[in-house]
Every structure is written in C-alpha cells, then in structure tokens.
C-alpha cells in the first residue's frame, strides 16, 4: 500500500496531464499531437512486459545514486516536462521557432522508433528490466534485433530523443531529453556491459566480437557464432 499509493497518484496525474495535453494540442502545433500518440504507443508496447516481468526474481541489481539520477533525468525529460509544457503555459517562454519540415522528420522518425522499441522488448522478453538487473535464469539474447547490435532498445530511444525537439519546439519540454539520454548512454552502457560480461563471461565476449553497440560491425558475414 505504501508503495502503491504514490504510484496510483502518479498514474492519475499522468492521465490528467495527457488528457489536458491532448485537449490543447493545437496550441503547440501538430508535432505535439504526434509526440503524444507516440508516448501512448510506447506505454502500450511496454506495459505488458512491465507487468509480466514484475514476477522476475532479481539476483543482481545496480541501483546506486548515478543510476537513480539517470533514470530520474529520463523520467523528467521524456514525460514530466513535455507533458507539463503541453498541458499548461508554464514553459512557453522557452519556445523556439523551427520550420515545418522538422516536424515531418520527427514524425517519420516515429516509425523506426516504435518498430525497434516493440521488437527489442519482444526479443528481450523476460530478460528486460527498466533498471540494470540480472534475473534468476537470465538468458543472453543474441538473435532478432539483438543479432548484430547490442543496444537496439537504446538505439530506439536515441531516435525518439532526437525526434522530440523536432516535434516539440521548446528547450525545456522538447530539447532537454537529448542531454539526459546522452548522459544515460555514455554512463550507463559501460556499466551494463560490465554487468553482462560478469554474468555471461565468454559468451558475452563472443557476442561483442561480432556485434556493434549501435551499428552492426562491417565485417560480420552472418555466420552463426
Ligand atoms: N541495452 C539493451 C537492453 C536495455 S534493457 C538495449 O538497448 O537493447 C536493460 C536490461 O536488459 C539490462 O539490465 C540487462 O539485464 C538486459 N540485457 C541487456 N542486453 C541483454 C542481452 N543481450 N540479453 C539479455 N539481457 C540483456
């Protein structure tokens, strides 16, 4: 109860903000409507995995101040600040002007983003967690969208983060996610890879030898490792 009450209050606040933002989308241009639809699609993709993976038994978790700060930064810049901006007038002073084609590029980017976001959750399955964790019976996934790159979910989030300031023309509600996710990427990925190496040893090293972090390695010939 102590844990669920704040979660219920936060969820209700989120629903109210999303409702207000949807109601007022024309105040901030059609890019804000595309961003809201993509946010809802993200929830639809992620929620079944979050619910199912709550049953996981976690054997190792990295929840230090750095990890908590990075996750809080992402929560603020991908949800709280954009929704506050779209639902109210409080950050209007930080608007910037951008041409309409930026909104088109941001919109087109939602297609690879949502596809990769969906596939990476589907391929990781029970092994996915929002924080850095290893679960009991954790399996190393090296197929599907994980075949040639090790961080397809972060690749998807990169696309989404870079598209957000193209859809929402505001330094606080749109742009801030770029430095927040850059910090997440540069600080978290080495920790995550070290955790995976400690858990999977040679299998992880062999996977690294044939895959890239975000881009496939050029010499990889498709032979199974
Ligand atoms: N970095 C990955 C996964 C992000 S989710 C991506 O961008 O697609 C983070 C969790 O996924 C980590 O805590 C780790 O437990 C798990 N994970 C990351 N790579 C994995 C892999 N190849 N196989 C299984 N689990 C993995």
Note the pLDDT tens digit of each residue in 16-72.
999 999 999 999 999 999 999 999 999 999 999 999 999 999 998 988 999 999 999
Average the pLDDT over 79-94 and give the result.
Answer: 96
What are the contacts of 6-15 at 24+ separation with CB within 8 A? 14/79, 14/83
Q: For residue 5, what pLDDT is reported?
A: 87
Q: In percent, how much of the chain has pLDDT > 70?
A: 96
Question: What was the pLDDT predicted at 166?
Answer: 98
Q: Which two tokens stand for residue 90?
A: 């409080």
Cα(94) to ligand 1 centroid in Å equals 36
DSSP secondary structure string, 168-201?
S-BIIIIITHHHHHHHHHHHHHHHHHHHHHHHHT
Residue-level pLDDT at 7: 84
In CATH terms, 4-224 corresponds, of 3.30.70.1230, 2.40.128.260, 1.20.120.1630, 3.40.50.2300, to 1.20.120.1630
Determine whether 33 is exposed, middle or buried from the number of CB atoms within 10 Å of its CB (0-12, 13-18, 19+).
middle
Dihedral sign, CA of 144, 145, 148, 154?
Answer: negative
Please give the pLDDT value at position 225: 47
Ligand 1 binding pocket, CB closer than 6 Å: 120, 124, 127-129, 132-134, 140-141, 146, 151-154, 192, 196
Mutate to test the pocket of ligand 1, among 124, 155, 214 (most ligand atoms within 8 A of CB): 124
> Average pLDDT, whole number, for the chain?
94
Residue-wise pLDDT for 120-167, tens only, equals: 999 999 999 999 999 999 999 999 999 999 999 999 999 999 999 999
pLDDT band at residue 223 under the 50/70/90 scheme: low
Write down the pLDDT at residue 221: 58
């Amino acid at each position: 109860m102590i844990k669920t009450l704040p979660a219920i209050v936060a969820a209700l606040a989120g629903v109210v903000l999303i409702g207000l933002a949807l109601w007022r989308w024309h105040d901030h241009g059609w890019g804000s409507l595309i961003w809201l639809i993509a946010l809802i699609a993200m929830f639809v993709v992620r929620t079944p995995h979050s619910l199912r993976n709550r049953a996981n038994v976690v054997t190792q978790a990295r929840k230090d101040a750095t990890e908590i700060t990075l996750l809080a930064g992402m929560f603020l810049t991908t949800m709280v600040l954009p929704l506050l901006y779209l639902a109210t007038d409080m950050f209007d002073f930080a608007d910037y002007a951008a041409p309409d084609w930026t909104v088109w590029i941001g919109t087109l980017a939602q297609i690879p983003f949502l596809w990769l976001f969906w596939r990476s959750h589907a391929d990781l399955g029970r092994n996915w967690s929002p924080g850095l964790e290893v679960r009991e019976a954790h399996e190393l996934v090296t197929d599907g969208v994980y075949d040639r790159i090790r961080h397809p979910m972060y690749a998807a989030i990169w696309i989404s983060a870079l598209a957000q300031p193209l859809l929402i023309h505001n330094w606080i509600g749109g742009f801030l996610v770029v430095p927040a996710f850059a910090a997440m990427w540069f600080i978290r990925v080495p920790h995550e890879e070290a955790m995976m190496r400690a858990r999977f040893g040679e299998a992880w090293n062999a996977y690294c030898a044939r895959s890239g972090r975000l881009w496939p390695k050029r010499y990889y010939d498709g032979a199974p490792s």
